[in-house]
Chain A
Amino acid sequence: MDSALFPKGVQRCSMGKFFLGLSIAGAVLLWGVLGLFLCWIKGLNQTNMNDYYGFAIWIWADLAVIALGGGAFFTGLLRYIFGIDELKNIINFAVLIGFICYSSALLILAIDVGQPLRSWFIFWHANVHSMLTEVAFCLSCYFAVLTIEYIPLILENRQLDKVPFIHNLTHNMHHIMAVFAATGAFLSFFHQGSLGGVPGVLFGRPFAFREHILVWPYSFFLFTWSAAAYGPCFTLFITWITEKISGKQLVKDNVVQLLAKISGWMIITYIIAKIADTVYWAMVTAPSKGFALMDFYSNNALYGIWILFAEIVLCGVVPGLILISPKLRANPTTRLIAIILGVIGVSLNRWVLVLQVMAVPVMSFDTWALYYPSWQEVATTVLPVAYGVMMIMISYRYLPIFPQEVELNPIEPLPTETVTEIEVDKETAEEAMVSEGEPAPAQA
């Protein structure tokens, strides 16, 4: 029914199957919207946050999706600034994932604040010394950049592209995309960093506080570095999921391996820096404030030393070593394990630097503050996941996200009676023939 909107030379599932998938994700999304409106209308008393635990699960989700969405700026940087041409075959998807992650992050922030209608005060009454101010400015600007990067992809839709003005606009936007890629990388460096600075500057919280270089705590640099390192893991992970669901190979193996290799080296260098930072913090910074390392990992039900091991060794050193090893990287199973561990690793890092900071007591007579989220919090945290699934479904169906898809999945001639069943319309087939199997140009 909607096959005229499909990219040239590709097959898509039936409309019924597509709507069934959308409905399932949509139901989850509606559940999230219910939680969202309850928080907006009734207030944050709908959550299980309290005066000890003022930052909670969705702030972790916020930081995690921003880190995972880091694949967009880093892949853009590699593609457009460092000129690694192979990455043109995955940059569209990286941009789409980045767009989803950052729009989700902004939505989460809009739910999280107690007076959402005053959110603009952060710009109007800006305190330039606050890391959160820097986050707000850079995050908003970078989201605008991602939108600009995503627009040409939408305009590449087969029907829209037939309009000469749109076709030319898209063409011209591609030409200047390097400027936006560079801007995006610059903005990302600062907002990823300033998110790291958010806990790093808390000199009243020895668990979070890190020493500084000028005004920037070490966590500033580590956050940027980790987003660049682990972000591509998330891009590859979502690519793998999309391939499994669509039942097609969408990106060539050499592209996946190249991005995995770059990610691996970034993870290894990051984790060395992270270990150095952790050792200095444990041996010098925390003791100078009266805390031994194990004070942060004892006498509570959740935060044992296992979390430090899991973050740094299991989900840091291990995936890094796998991805820099040509043999292990080439093996799809070990590569996938490394990618998943990487995604967990960076999410765990954000968890620790948001939620564990709240949990650790500072005054000697205070106690650990543990918390579990209310269903409204869970629903609003799951909301971006459902939104992301729907965005990917719609974008994949109607937009040429994967330039290598046509080449990797040529439409074979089928018996006449089955053609009608799979709804490959005549126009699609004709246009596929006209294109002679030539892959669609990369967009960003």
Chain B
Amino acid sequence: MKQAHGKTKKFGMVIDLDKCTGCGTCMVACMAENNVPFRKDETDKRLSITWMQVYKLTNGKSYPDAEICYLPRPCQHCEGHHSGHSPCVSVCPATATDYDSETGIVSQIYTRCFGCRYCMAACPYHARYFNWWDPVWPGDMEKYLSPNVSPRMRGVVEKCSFCFHRYQLAMEKAILEGRHELEEQEYQTSCTQACPAGAITFGDLNNPEHKVHQLAQPDPHHHGRPKNPKVFRLLERLHTNPKIYYFSSKEWVRRAGDNYVKDESKSDHHE
């Protein structure tokens, strides 16, 4: 579907894993920006809501050959093998999550979600989180909540929205100024701006002038698969067609992005 007043966007990210230090600033920025709730005891990480989650990868070797890599994982905003056939969107029984063909963003409608968690089962990236508790903000923290993002109630699923409220605010401003297109820097996610190493690049993958497009070089004939040999997407072989691209100069990191049966080389499946 074409956008009424502009070109169809496909917002996405390139995350440079060579630059990521695993500091977690992106996670903190995301939580503050999006009113992500937390509890007093967050020891069980499988109960923590972290729209942006930093994973620690190792090459499995011993010192002195041991290497580590940190991999930030937001929602991958999958497009699927045909437009909008994301793993989660296709299964939600109540249309509480949707694929916006104008922006490529996978949305979550909190007031429509009834908490069946089928989308969580469908997502191989574990990018979706369930509100096992009602959010409780300690002390005066409630005053610091962002008015642009609705807090979520117990019993519904939530996930990264690519800071969609920022897109809405930027578009409102642009329309007031008589424009229908945004400049690259007008819409940036909070994690992108917060990263002290500048590891995250965000923009429109459809726009050749945007840096994400230049870094990822998405191939429109192969569902956006990166032409840049040092860029990969997580679980490419599942045909989820995600919009998060990862850059790494290390072969073992790129290989960790997918699964291979024994003795299978990466090139075996790439074409």
| A residues apposed to B, CB below 8 Å | 43-45, 49-55, 112-116, 118-119, 121-122, 124-127, 129-133, 136, 198, 201-206, 287-292, 295, 357-358, 362-366, 369
17 inter-chain pairs at a CB distance below 8 angstroms, sorted by A residue, are A44-B115, A45-B132, A49-B130, A51-B129, A122-B94, A125-B94, A125-B112, A127-B92, A206-B238, A289-B238, A290-B237, A290-B264, A291-B259, A362-B238, A364-B258, A365-B256, A369-B46
Chain B 154-166: CB-based contact to A (< 8 A → 1; otherwise 0): 1111000000000
In the bound complex, residues from chain A placing their C-beta under 8 Å from that of B154 are: 43, 114
Check A130 against B93 for contact (C-beta < 8 Å).
yes
Stretch at the interface among B16-24, B120-128, B184-192, B210-218: B120-128
The residue in B57, B255, B259 that gathers the most chain A C-beta atoms within 10 A of its C-beta is B259
Identify which of B120, B153, B258 contacts A290 (C-beta below 8 A). Answer: B258
The SS class assigned to the B binding surface is: loop
Q: Whole-angstrom distance between the alpha carbons of A53 and B45 in the complex?
A: 12
Q: Which 3 A-B pairs have the closest CB atoms?
A: A114-B115, A114-B155, A290-B259
Is B25 part of the contact surface with A, judged by Cβ < 8 Å?
A: no
Q: Whole-angstrom distance between the alpha carbons of A126 and B123 in the complex?
A: 20
Q: How near does chain B come to A236, taking the closest CB pair, in angstroms?
A: 33
Q: How near does chain B come to A142, taking the closest CB pair, in angstroms?
A: 17
Q: How near does chain B come to A349, taking the closest CB pair, in angstroms?
A: 17
Check A365 against B57 for contact (C-beta < 8 Å).
yes
Check A203 against B120 for contact (C-beta < 8 Å).
no
Check B155 against A44 for contact (C-beta < 8 Å).
yes
Q: Whole-angstrom distance between the alpha carbons of A130 and B92 in the complex?
A: 6
Beyond A130-B93, A204-B122, is A54–B117 a contact (Cβ under 8 Å)? yes
Is B44 part of the contact surface with A, judged by Cβ < 8 Å?
A: yes
Chain B 77-102: CB-based contact to A (< 8 A → 1; otherwise 0): 00000000001001111111000000
Q: Whole-angstrom distance between the alpha carbons of A288 and B268 in the complex?
A: 10
Check B117 against A133 for contact (C-beta < 8 Å).
no
Identify which of A52, A122, A129, A136 contacts B46 (C-beta below 8 A). Answer: A52
Q: Whole-angstrom distance between the alpha carbons of A45 and B260 in the complex?
A: 37
Check A363 against B117 for contact (C-beta < 8 Å).
no
Q: How near does chain A come to B36, taking the closest CB pair, in angstroms?
A: 13
Beyond A43-B133, A43-B155, A122-B114, is A363–B235 a contact (Cβ under 8 Å)? yes
Check B121 against A363 for contact (C-beta < 8 Å).
no
Beyond A51-B120, A114-B130, A114-B154, is A204–B235 a contact (Cβ under 8 Å)? yes
Q: How near does chain B come to A290, taking the closest CB pair, in angstroms?
A: 3
Identify which of A125, A198, A291, A364 contacts B257 (C-beta below 8 A). Answer: A364
Give how many A-B residue pairs fall within 8 Å (CB-CB).
163
Check B122 against A205 for contact (C-beta < 8 Å).
yes
Identify which of B46, B91, B93, B116 contacts A126 (C-beta below 8 A). Answer: B93
Q: How near does chain A come to B261, taking the closest CB pair, in angstroms?
A: 5
In the bound complex, residues from chain B placing their C-beta under 8 Å from that of A288 are: 237, 269
Q: How near does chain B come to A376, taking the closest CB pair, in angstroms?
A: 13
Interface residues of B in 125-174 (CB under 8 A from A): 125-126, 128-134, 153-157
In the bound complex, residues from chain B placing their C-beta under 8 Å from that of A362 are: 124-125, 235, 238, 259
Q: How near does chain A come to B186, taking the closest CB pair, in angstroms?
A: 33
Check B124 against A204 for contact (C-beta < 8 Å).
yes
Check A51 against B258 for contact (C-beta < 8 Å).
no
* CB nearest neighbor in B for A199: B121
In the bound complex, residues from chain A placing their C-beta under 8 Å from that of B115 are: 44, 113-115, 118
Beyond A43-B133, A204-B124, A365-B55, is A114–B91 a contact (Cβ under 8 Å)? no
* CB nearest neighbor in B for A53: B46
Check A366 against B240 for contact (C-beta < 8 Å).
no
Check A292 against B262 for contact (C-beta < 8 Å).
yes
Identify which of B94, B113, B121, B259 contacts A127 (C-beta below 8 A). Answer: B94
Beyond A114-B117, A126-B94, A365-B71, is A51–B130 a contact (Cβ under 8 Å)? yes
Q: How near does chain A come to B57, taking the closest CB pair, in angstroms?
A: 5
In the bound complex, residues from chain A placing their C-beta under 8 Å from that of B57 are: 365
Q: Whole-angstrom distance between the alpha carbons of A116 and B156 in the complex?
A: 11
Check A204 against B87 for contact (C-beta < 8 Å).
yes
Q: Whole-angstrom distance between the alpha carbons of A243 and B261 in the complex?
A: 53
Check B238 against A203 for contact (C-beta < 8 Å).
yes
Identify which of A45, A125, A287 contacts B96 (C-beta below 8 A). Answer: A125
Chain B 219-241: CB-based contact to A (< 8 A → 1; otherwise 0): 00000000000000011011110
Check B125 against A363 for contact (C-beta < 8 Å).
yes
Check B114 against A205 for contact (C-beta < 8 Å).
no
Beyond A50-B46, A364-B256, A365-B256, is A115–B121 a contact (Cβ under 8 Å)? no
Check B118 against A132 for contact (C-beta < 8 Å).
yes
Q: Whole-angstrom distance between the alpha carbons of A43 and B46 in the complex?
A: 17
Check A51 against B92 for contact (C-beta < 8 Å).
no
In the bound complex, residues from chain B placing their C-beta under 8 Å from that of A130 are: 90-93, 118
Check B47 against A50 for contact (C-beta < 8 Å).
yes
Check A202 against B121 for contact (C-beta < 8 Å).
yes
In the bound complex, residues from chain B placing their C-beta under 8 Å from that of A366 are: 126
Identify which of B44, B116, B240 contacts A50 (C-beta below 8 A). Answer: B44
Q: How near does chain B come to A113, taking the closest CB pair, in angstroms?
A: 5
In the bound complex, residues from chain B placing their C-beta under 8 Å from that of A204 are: 87, 122-125, 235, 238, 240
Q: Whole-angstrom distance between the alpha carbons of A119 and B121 in the complex?
A: 19
In the bound complex, residues from chain A placing their C-beta under 8 Å from that of B133 are: 43, 45
In the bound complex, residues from chain A placing their C-beta under 8 Å from that of B120 are: 51, 54
* CB nearest neighbor in B for A52: B46
Check B114 against A113 for contact (C-beta < 8 Å).
yes
In the bound complex, residues from chain B placing their C-beta under 8 Å from that of A50 are: 44, 46-47, 132
In the bound complex, residues from chain A placing their C-beta under 8 Å from that of B126 are: 51-52, 363, 366
In the bound complex, residues from chain A placing their C-beta under 8 Å from that of B240 are: 203-204
Beyond A115-B115, A130-B92, A202-B122, is A290–B128 a contact (Cβ under 8 Å)? no
The residue in A113, A118, A295, A358 that gathers the most chain B C-beta atoms within 10 A of its C-beta is A118
Q: Whole-angstrom distance between the alpha carbons of A201 and B88 in the complex?
A: 11
* CB nearest neighbor in B for A122: B93
* CB nearest neighbor in B for A362: B124
In the bound complex, residues from chain A placing their C-beta under 8 Å from that of B118 are: 130, 132, 198
Q: Whole-angstrom distance between the alpha carbons of A206 and B238 in the complex?
A: 8
Check B116 against A132 for contact (C-beta < 8 Å).
yes
The residue in B94, B115, B126, B262 that gathers the most chain A C-beta atoms within 10 A of its C-beta is B94
Check B235 against A43 for contact (C-beta < 8 Å).
no
In the bound complex, residues from chain B placing their C-beta under 8 Å from that of A201 are: 90-91
In the bound complex, residues from chain B placing their C-beta under 8 Å from that of A369 are: 46
Identify which of A115, A131, A206, A365 contacts B156 (C-beta below 8 A). Answer: A115
